[in-house]
Amino acid sequence: MSKWRLVLAVLIWATVSVFAFVAVGNVIVAGGMVVFGFVLLLVLAMAGDWERHPDYEARELARARRRAVKRQRTAGARARDRERWEAHQAKQAEKAARTRTPGDDGRG
């Protein structure tokens, strides 16, 4: 929504609000009309740029780029973690091989 359309909507809302208090005898009803008009004006202002947001593909592409940068930055730490994990798995396999008895099929 352009700035001028929003200014025009605010002027119309202000005019209708004054008219509501003058023409309608009940202040509570006029106040309700003013509040309803204000909420409508807010919705109109917020919906003005509804179509200017990036679409799903653009958001996912930006996320993928951020993830790629992070993966490049943390590649060394992941390599060290992988080496530690492989060493741990080798120790576990060695330990399991030592504790097996002949004829043990591993079924408990």
For the range 20-26, what are the long-range contacts, defined as Cβ-Cβ under 8 Å and sequence gap of 24 or more? Answer: none
In a domain, 5, yes or no: yes
Amino acid identity at 51: E
In a domain, 84, yes or no: no
How many domains, in total, are found in the chain?
1
pLDDT (average), residues 9-25: 89
In a domain, 32, yes or no: yes
Model pLDDT, residue 63: 95
Each residue of 52-76: pLDDT tens digit? 778 889 999 999 999 999 999 999 9
| pTM tops 0.75 | no
Helices (H) and strands (E) in the chain, counts: 4, 0
- Domain limits for position 35: 1-52
In a domain, 25, yes or no: yes
In a domain, 81, yes or no: no
In a domain, 92, yes or no: no
In a domain, 93, yes or no: no
